[in-house]
Amino acid sequence: MPELRLTNTFSGEREVFVPIDPERITLYVCGPTVYNLAHIGNARPVVVFDTLYRVLDALYPKVIYARNITDIDDKIIAAAHERGQAIDAVSAEFTDKYREDVAALNTLVPSLEPHATDNIPAMIDLTQRLIDAGNAYISEGHVLFSVASMPSYGALSGRHLDDMLAGARVEVATYKRQAGDFVLWKPSEDDAPGWDSPWGRGRPGWHAECSAMIRAHLGDTIDIHGGGRDLIFPHHENERAQSCCAYGGDFVHYWLHNAYVDMDGEKMSKSLGNVRTIRDLLSNYQGEVLRFALLSAHYRSPLSFSQAVLDNAKGALDGFYGALRNVQDIQAQPVDISHSAAFNALLDDLNTPEAIAALHAASKALNKAAPQDRPRLKGILLANAEILGVLQCDPEEWFTSGRDSGLDAAAVEALINDRLEARANRDFDRADQIRDELVTAGIVLEDGSEGTTWRRR
RNA sequence: GGCUCGGUGGCAGAGUGGUCAUGCAGCGGAUUGCAAAUCCGUCAACGCCGGUUCGAUUCCGACCCGAGCCUCCA
């Protein structure tokens, strides 16, 4: 079996992936809090870990990939108030939209999508265990985790308790013994959603759900836990504290974190007004273009999102689909994904830029292939693409189904026929006039040996 | 202040102790009625200063610059 290597945040090093149980791989990725539309930065971990899921799936017989839905959270409560809607109406709406958006990015559906609100008893159990074990305390109706009770607290994020206390910039809530202590369970006001618990009617703290759901759905210890860098602290540090103290064991063997997407070099933020939602971008670009753009940089490097990055991605995909369009009548010879160069690039800590380079090489080889080699080379290109989750649609569709800029396919075909007639009569002025007309409508013609094809730009 | 990442050709972006990333853009050519697409060729980089080495963009140290986290955040 080929070796998969991953950079583990815990050790800071690239390590060979050794599964707990090769028959059952467990992968958990932090999903959305469903109170607004997902933006392109949210899309990055989704696409990155979808790619990892594909790699794991090619390597092992069974992979359980869980991505949670956080459907109880103060941000959702605030959004519901603002919109004058029920909380579950808000969370249901944005859960649906999230699924649509990420599906457009060619992502596979996870094996499990646990909802926080379906797992409240597991969170109560977690909290009770922590109290029983002496890692948590009750104060002013809250249950808090005591960071001082865990010697290795801070090991994931590389922080020392002393430093954190010294550098604390926020006012410490009165119910906390120490600044770093975090909420496991908090009381709910009468108009806020709540569940009965040994500590009164309340709701879980932010970190509780992942610990509880991982344990409930995947087990005490999982292979891989992923998410964005910003989750390392405090979210993942606190999850780790909860799970290790409540259930024993080492909780997660490989922690993976992706870097941010920034917009033209600036951090995406509401105040800068440069937040771009997936939905918004999809109105101008195919989802596959967004996916490709997100994979064009290595996941641990910051990705500077811009018009140029998207146009580049679109151009590259056009090139690949162009190569496939030329051989669309040729049956591809099946190729095992695990023999593809892209797959091998991904084995090395998901080196997607190198995998994309392999795609370019495969595309070029196909373009210049002798006829007898085309079935094999088409198969190779498709196998390389599949592991990256791209080039899965029909090339003709790709080029002709884009945004309709005033001319439908039939109208385009009619104009092409007029032009062919003009060319047959050597009336090139008329032929060029028709082509210019089409270019204005965003349609590019290509005269090939087997006729004229067209595509939308 | 603490912790963590980075600085590669015009742009995007990999990688490596000693000939090549890759793509876009540019330039030259083939092809085309002209184009487009494609193919062939080509230019060009490793923040700064030291050190280790036969040799450093790659290892080590200092410095400069940038980003992120420490507070909700992918």
- Judged by C1' against the alpha carbon of A293, the nearest nucleotide is B12
**Average pLDDT along chain A:** 91
Predicted confidence band of residue A166 (pLDDT cuts 50, 70, 90): low
What integer is the mean pLDDT of A162-175? Answer: 63
CA distance to A88, A177, A390, A404, A407, per residue, from A120 (Å):
15, 26, 38, 48, 54
Asked if the model's pLDDT at residue A321 lies above 90, the reply is: yes
Q: Which nucleotides of B are covered by protein (CB under 7 A)?
A: 1-6, 11-15, 21-25, 32-40, 67-74
Q: Which nucleotide is nearest to A351 (CA to C1')?
A: B14
CATH of A306-398, one of 1.20.120.640, 1.10.260.40, 1.10.645.10, 3.40.50.2000: 1.20.120.640
Residues A323-377 pLDDT 10s:
999 999 999 999 999 999 999 999 999 999 999 999 999 999 999 999 999 999 9
With CA of A359 and C1' of each nucleotide, the nearest comes out as B22
Q: Which two tokens stand for residue A134?
A: 């002496």
Given pLDDT bands bounded at 50, 70 and 90, which one contains residue A456? confident
More confident residue, A11 or A21: A21
Q: Six-digit token pair at A233?
A: 């602290």
Provide the CA A361 to C1' B30 distance, Å, integer. 21
Q: Does A79 have pLDDT greater than 70?
A: yes
Residue A276: CB less than 7 A from any atom in strand B: no
CB–CB of A289/A317 below 8 Å?
yes
pLDDT at A170: 53
A53, pLDDT greater than 80: yes
Tell which residue, A108, A456, A105, has the closest CA to residue A290. Answer: A105
A82-98: per-residue pLDDT in tens? Answer: 999 999 999 999 999 99
Contact A137, A146 (CB under 8 A): yes
CA of A139 to C1' of B54 (A): 69
Residues A100 and A92 sit within 8 Å (Cβ to Cβ): no
Q: What whole-number percentage of chain A has pLDDT above 90?
A: 72
- CATH 1.20.120.640 range(s) for chain A read 306-398
Is the minimum distance from the CB of A274 to strand B below 7 Å? no
Determine how many CB atoms are found less than 10 A away from the CB of residue A273.
8
Strand B proximal to A381 Cβ, under 7 A: no
Tokens (6 digits) for A450: 């087997």
Q: What is the mean pLDDT of residues A157-166?
A: 71
Q: Which residue is nearest to nucleotide B66 (CA to C1')?
A: A265
pLDDT of A312 strictly over 50:
yes
Helices (H) and strands (E) in chain A, counts: 16, 15
What's the Å distance between residue A338 CA and nucleotide B40 C1'?
32
* CB of A384 within 7 Å of some strand B atom: no
The pLDDT, as a whole number, for residue A167 is 47
pLDDT band of residue A402 (cuts 50, 70, 90) is low
Neighbours of A59 (CB within 10 A): 20
Distance in Å from B66's C1' to A262's CA comes to 14
**pLDDT at residue A171 in the model:** 60
Predicted confidence (pLDDT) at residue A193 exceeds the cutoff of 60:
yes
Asked if pLDDT for residue A443 goes beyond 80, the answer is yes
* C-alpha torsion angle, residues A132, A137, A139, A141 (rounded to 10): -40
Q: Which residue is nearest to nucleotide B1 (CA to C1')?
A: A167
Establish whether the CB of A232 is closer than 7 Å to any nucleic acid atom in strand B.
yes
- Chain position carrying tokens 């906390």: A176
Model confidence at A417: pLDDT above 90: no
Q: How confident is the model at residue A247 (pLDDT cuts 50, 70, 90)?
A: very high
Residue A441 has pLDDT above 90, yes or no: no
| Residue A163 pLDDT | 64
Using the CA of A233, which nucleotide's C1' is the nearest one?
B69
Q: What would the mean pLDDT of A121-150 be, rounded to a whole number?
A: 94
Per-residue pLDDT at A102 exceeds 50: yes
Q: Report CA(A354)–C1'(B19) in Å, whole number.
A: 20
CA of residue A98 to C1' of nucleotide B53, angstroms: 55
- pLDDT-based confidence at A403, cuts 50/70/90? low
Is residue A402 within 8 Å of A456, Cβ to Cβ?
yes
